[in-house]
Structure 1
């Protein structure tokens, strides 16, 4: 047992080193150009000599960003596409590898910590099995949750980079995979998380495929978010959540209404200064503001908060932990705003999602979060663009 405790202390000292190595691996994955630097050259041999001699010096010096030497009849876009796919695979594989290493390391150190806590020198195998199974179930749950989250993140990053077609196919694959998981996975916690995650590709696919019925952009939100009421109702009824669990309550409603207005203004102002949106209403008349408020609160705010907070965050809190639930939902909430095309918007909306997640966890009031979300959009797409369109803070 003394050797086990000593080994555990040694592994604790190695934890910062392992974390640094994982961080380095992830950074290399995010910036694949650092790992793929250098030019590919034909080796000097009798076989390649005549080919190299037949190519002019100008052609040999004409190289793409990926270091390939192009021949006159070759299409440079082909190499660019290959390079893109290699970069995507490299990035995704590096991040997944880093996460798997981290999960494995956490599994080993957690098991060592449990074993080191036993005061008796004699170690019972049955107790070891119980600890091992408990840790295995927890890590398995994290791994099964992480897999679709990473694929959703990859699809949204592709949308951010402008590769819409590939992102759509990945979202379709995610939706099919999560649907088929109901036949293969028996763990109820995993199934509930997967049912919640299915709503994200559904939301994105409806958003991208919905035809334009009106020239006014504001009305498009109605047709995008209304169909989501069906899967939301099915999931809530299937998982048999109580109204209190998903935050449907009128407790302290008036206080939350009063609190949501100043918070929404501050958060909406921060987002407006981040992306400088245009207005969705022609003027600030009562009729225009009423239309904007109804759509942003009862369609956009209600549907998105039901998805991210009432269903997804609640499922993750029950299966994992509060911190992990807040982290995952806020990251996904930020990435689902990748369509704006700015990295600052992803970071800011992720931060706002974290604040709203904390507020939902503390208050368990869906009306409060929905009002705050809806009023943020009212300020962002209605009031602030009309007043601050010509104002620059610096």
Structure 2
């Protein structure tokens, strides 16, 4: 009888420790996601305030801390999300510290983004990610590309109304547009979408949930646009991140979101600056184009809402089949 009682006590204790272990892992997961997210937001708010050096040092401190933390956390999912934030800090450090080698700023983007291919390759090999895991597949329908084109134009138009950026090409010519397209699609667009969608959003979905991961990835994407020093731009970037994230959530296709961002950047830094003279200030733009901006925001929310409804319907149909 005593042995049976002892055995029951052991079972109860083991069950208790199993629950504690589960709780501890959940808390650690939140810690691993929350701390780097908060640090990235703080660093970007410093950049928003014009404190570039503090931003670089904050990201550098975060980068070193994250590298050492990979030796502490043994859980694969936790390590994967840490690697994602390492890429974010590397992206910002390279963007801010890379010297300008050319008179044409466009070529500087190549030197800012190309070095990220190496850590991305190391991460992909370490995590045994396939092309399908990264979203490189043929899962594109006939109506996807027109939607990507329209979404890119809408995002670019709203951003242009707010930040009025200068052009990255001296004149509108086929050769210059080709150069701009190569840089914005294969360097800026592709690398950013691999980092934010294929790696960050995917890992956040696994850690905190599908929709929570989408929202958090969109917030981080938004604050990473603080370099423009405009709260309106951060807001628009958040909506853009939500659109791109929803597209990736629905289609799991890296090419689709890369083309969307590439199209947006081509319009924003090439076609629109040469078409419209940057004469208005941000405040006058918001005042004079408030109706247009509100309409575009409503359109954006509608696209996202339709995407979520479609996703839920697909999930329900899959559950019925099962």
Q: How does 1:163-202 map to 2 (within 5 A)?
A: 163-202=51-90
Q: Deviation per CA, 1:150-198, whole angstroms, max 9, x where unpaired?
A: 1111111111111122221111111100111122221221111001110
Q: Partners in 2 of 1:158 and 1:235 — Cα distance?
A: 28
**Equivalence map 1:1-394=2 (5 Å):** 130-252=18-140, 255-389=143-277, 394=288
Residues of 1 paired with 2:161 and 2:23: CA distance? 45
CA offsets, 1:207-234, max 9 Å, x none?
A: 1121111100111111111111000111
In 1, Cα distance between the equivalents of 2:211 and 2:141? 26
- Please tell me whether the aligned partners of residues 164 and 278 of structure 2 are also in contact (alpha carbons under 8 angstroms): no
Q: Which moved more, 1:182-191 or 1:226-235?
A: 182-191
CA apart distance, 1:238: 0.6
Q: Considering Cα pairs closer than 8 Å and 6+ residues apart, tell me whether 1 or 2 has the greater RCO.
A: 2
Aligned counterparts of 2:138 and 2:124: Cα–Cα separation in 1: 19
Q: CA 1:237 to 1:253, structure 2 compared with 1: closer, same or farther past 3 Å?
A: farther
Per the TM alignment, residue 127 of structure 1 is displaced from its structure 2 partner at its CA by 5.5
CA displacement at 1:259 relative to structure 2 = 2.3
Deviation for aligned residue 1:309: 0.3
Report the count of equivalent residues. 271
**TM-score w.r.t. structure 1 length?**
0.66
Deviation, structure 1 residue 129: 5.0
Q: Distance in 2 between matches of 1:226 and 1:253?
A: 30
Quote the offset at 1:126 in angstroms.
Answer: 6.1
- How much is the aligned-residue C-alpha RMSD, in angstroms? 1.8
Q: Give structure 1 stretches of 5+ with no counterpart.
A: 1-123
1:224–1:172 CA distance, 2 compared to 1 (3 A) = same
Quick check: which one's helix share is greater? Answer: 2
Q: Is the 8 A contact 2:140 2:251 kept in 1?
A: no
Q: CA deviation at 1:134?
A: 2.8
5+ residue gaps, structure 2, are 1-11, 289-322
- Counterpart Cα distance in 1 of 2:32 and 2:113: 28
SS, match of residue 183 in structure 1: coil
Helix, strand or coil at the partner of 2:71:
helix
| Counterpart contact for 2:139–2:251, Cα < 8 Å | no
Q: 2:221, 2:241 within 8 Å by CA — same for their partners in 1?
A: yes
| Displacement of 1:278 | 1.5
